[in-house]
Amino acid sequence: MIKLSKPYIPEETYEKVIDVLKSGLLVQGKYVEQFENELKKYLGIEHVVLVSSGTAALHLALISLGIKEGDEVIVPAFTYPATANVVELVGAKPVLVDITLDDFCINVELIEGAITPKTKAIMPVHEFGQSADIDGIMKLAEKHGLFVVEDAACALGTEFNNKKCGTFGHIGCFSLHPRKAITTGEGGVIVTNNLNIAEKLKAYRNHGIQYNEKGMDFTYAGFNYRLTEIQAVIGIEQLKILDELIEKRIQIAKMYDDLFSDISWINTPNIFAERKMVYQTYHILVDEVINRDDLIIHLKMNDIETNYGAQALNCLTYYRNKYNLHDEDFPNAYKSYKKGLALPLGHYLDINAILQIQKTMKDYK
């Protein structure tokens, strides 16, 4: 079976994990701090706070900005549900905006029409490792006095105009889930250039603890969103070769692009001159005449694992029922959900695997 995704763990990692286990110091210690410092250098950001998941990162980002009941947060209609779920969890309302089919990211031209007096933040998603039009989003946010929380879960290493995504907004959030370029099993990263926000984030991830001249105090009703030392050493070793892993993904994407160029019913990802895409997912759209779900079965029967890339939130039971949403409300999100397909991608693939995938796709129709 050609797997959809497979994490790469360098050999050097295993011995370091054993050392941590032998030390008995397993939770948020020197290796978490080291990993945070290495991520600061990589991203060119002032503050990094590691947490237990990408969802935890988004959750704490909204809490630290004071987003609460009665507020509204603009999110793309096509994304993993965690983006909108965290807005619900703080009591606010996620306001959906359709995407473009060019990049599968939020359509900046539609954002202003969704802004109301209750809007407090925009949460763009750099979907599949492709940068959203973050420059346009930041200009809109400045015009209307809104926070920007970048959901860069898929986009560690992604760039817009040679600047790392996740570092444009007030807060950026990344995921370290196994389908990402580097993984700690579960894990998340929050970044910001604002010291006050960073201090809140550090407290909230650790039960609300802050330290002062009198010692430890509980200044917030916080969470246990800490990362372990075991996860940190796994992440440190992968971060050393992240650029190499990304380059491999770019090379595989180029193979796909070339090999699919003569299959008329496949629409491959677009390339933008001002953006560096890290291809967390190689996501294609198939034509209307193609039954995407049947294609998934066809590929599975030929030992190729695939899946749809993300969800149209308006099609999910919770959001459809609560906000009385319909398929046609966000046509591009709906099309991407129903006609999108994520193909295998990662360091473990070679040209023979890519050729097998191409042949199986060709044989379908």
Question: Of 3, 42, 40, nearest to 243 (Cα)?
Answer: 42
82 CA to centre of own chain: 10
Cross-sheet strand order for the sheet of 275-276: 163-164, 159-160, 275-276
Does 41 participate in catalysis according to the annotation? no
Contact 107, 98 (CB under 8 A): yes
What CA–CA distances, in Å, run from 313 to 95, 141, 212, 294, 342?
Answer: 11, 23, 43, 22, 18
Catalytic residue chosen out of the listed positions 180, 202, 276, 339: 180
Distance CA 72, CA 53 (A): 23
Block residue for tokens 């380059």: 247
Distance CA 92, CA 249 (A): 37
Going 317 to 323 to 325 to 330, the CA torsion angle's sign is negative
Distance CA 166, CA 172 (A): 4
DSSP letter for each residue of 148-198 = EEEE-TT-TT-EETTEETTSSSSEEEEE--TTSSS--SS-EEEEES-HHHH
320-329: long-range contacts at Cβ-Cβ below 8 A with a sequence spacing of 24 or more? Answer: 325/96, 329/77, 329/96
Distance CA 52, CA 312 (A): 26
Distance CA 275, CA 128 (A): 13
The single-letter code of the amino acid at 270 is N
Active site positions, annotated: 180
